[in-house]
């Protein structure tokens, strides 16, 4: 059984134990969510190219948090 669900799929609610109800996203909202995640992934990849340090770890953590909150804005 596949335990992964695409983040833009309407089935994304199937594996969440906290939020019990979700609204259905429009196609535009799904696209916005995908674009935000792609931007975050691109930034993280660039950070990995540059090297590793405590500062880089903090930068990556904050990018992940920024993407999370931006997606939350779109999906709330």
Domain boundaries along the sequence of the chain: 25-75
Q: Mean pLDDT throughout 72-76?
A: 91
Give the pair of three-digit tokens for residue 58: 């903090």
Residues 6+ away with beta carbon under 8 Å from 43: 63
Whole-number pLDDT of residue 17: 62
Which of residues 73 and 12 earns the better pLDDT score?
73
Which region, left, alpha or beta, applies to residue 26 given φ > 0 means left and ψ of -120 to 50 means alpha?
Answer: beta
Helix/strand/coil for 73? helix
pLDDT digits (tens, 9 = 90+) for 6-65: 767 776 666 566 666 777 899 999 999 999 999 999 999 999 999 999 999 999 999 999
Model pTM score: 0.74
* Residue recorded with tokens 């993407």: 67
- On the question of pLDDT at 1 being above 50, the answer is no
Q: How far apart are CA 31 and CA 42, in angstroms?
A: 16
Token digits of residue 54: 């405590």
């Amino acid at each position: 059984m596949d335990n992964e669900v695409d983040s833009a799929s309407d089935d994304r609610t199937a594996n969440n134990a906290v939020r019990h109800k979700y609204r259905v996203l429009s196609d535009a909202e799904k696209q916005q969510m995908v674009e935000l995640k792609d931007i975050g992934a691109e930034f993280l990849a660039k950070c990995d190219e540059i090297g590793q340090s405590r500062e880089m770890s903090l930068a990556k953590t904050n990018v992940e948090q920024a993407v999370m909150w931006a997606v939350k804005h779109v999906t709330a």
